[in-house]
Amino acid sequence: MFSAALTPLDAELAPDHARFIAHCRYLLDEGCDAIAMLGTTGEANSFSVSERTALLEAVIAGGIKPNQLLPGTGVAAFTDTIALTRHALSVGVDTVVMLPPFYYKNVSDDGVYAAYNEIIQRIGDKRLKIVLYHIPQMSMQPISHALIERLRKAYPSTIVGIKDSSGDFVNMTAMVERFPGFSVLTGADPLLLPLLRKGGAGCITATSNLVARDLAYVFKHFRDSDDDANLAAAQARIVKARELVSRFAQMPSLKALMAERTGHAGWQRLRPPLETLPATQLKELLANAAAFATAA
């Protein structure tokens, strides 16, 4: 069970290394197996290559083990993707989450395959493991089953899984059935339990920043009966938390709730073009969060 970690920012809107390291420790203590840093939730595509590499180095220097990290390395330019991925390997991280090139639209599977092929060939490191990142609502570049099959045939030990953030459960279960041994990870928190029961591998989710302990419980106890009150309660809290952060824009909602939990107002900072919630929405979010905490 992996957390798609938020990235705290300092007053200059740069990644706050110390606070991020503390957040990683918190998530691991709450039961996460690893931290998927610098993904969509972590505002990765608002950061430069140097900012991303510096944050990864700081986290490892701060005591987080390389095998507890899944950095996002996929960007629009495949040469930058290569640089980020090589850097991850150089500091001991062998598994990365990789978006397809996403700026140009309506690119064929051949074009996307060519990009991944170029990246893998130029890196030329057998240690590398890639989790593909399917988030068509953001990238506008879906990863088809035919493309997955082609990549797995060419690089069976490198293309090891996919994070599916489409919310399409049918697509996730179809991949589980079609690709035995391929790790299918949901990006939607409420789908963790049903996906595990269909043979999925787990999740990389945003709401884990708030309910990691519940997600970890579901991951460990998904084989238990639906009559298990603790499992049902954990799943109910996960669903309510996801609904809460989806009421308004997700990233500012998550950061506002992190600020409320930690007492550190700086957690609310986002890098433009993302914006904090308007005052009326923030008030409503926190009121609903208080009710949710009381109910839990």
Residue 188's Cβ-count burial label (10 Å; 0-12, 13-18, 19+) is buried
Active site residue 129: no
Q: Give CA–CA dist 116/123, Å, rounded.
A: 11
Return the residue matching tokens 């949901």: 186
- Kindly report the number of other CB atoms within 10 A of residue 62's CB atom: 14
**Residue of 191, 287, 188 whose CA lies nearest to 246:** 188
The stretches of 10-161 forming alpha helices (DSSP H) are 17-29, 49-61, 78-90, 109-123, 136-139, 145-154
Catalytic residue, candidates 133, 153, 155, 220: 133
Q: Are 256 and 268 in contact (CB under 8 A)?
A: yes
Q: Are 284 and 245 in contact (CB under 8 A)?
A: no
Catalytic residue, candidates 163, 217, 255, 283: 163
Active site residue 133: yes
Residues of each annotated binding site for pyruvate: 41, 204
Residues of each annotated binding site: 41, 204
- Kindly report the number of other CB atoms within 10 A of residue 85's CB atom: 23
Tokens of 128: 């590398």
How many residues are there in the chain?
A: 296
Long-range contacts of 44-52 (CB under 8 A, 24+ apart): 44/7, 44/72, 45/75, 46/271, 46/272, 46/273, 46/274, 47/7, 47/15, 47/271, 49/75, 49/80, 49/83, 49/84, 51/14, 51/15, 52/84
Name the strands in the sheet holding 183-186, side by side, starting at the edge strand that comes first in the sequence. 34-36, 2-4, 202-205, 183-186, 159-164, 129-134, 95-98
Q: Give CA–CA dist 177/243, Å, rounded.
A: 29
Active site residues: 133, 163
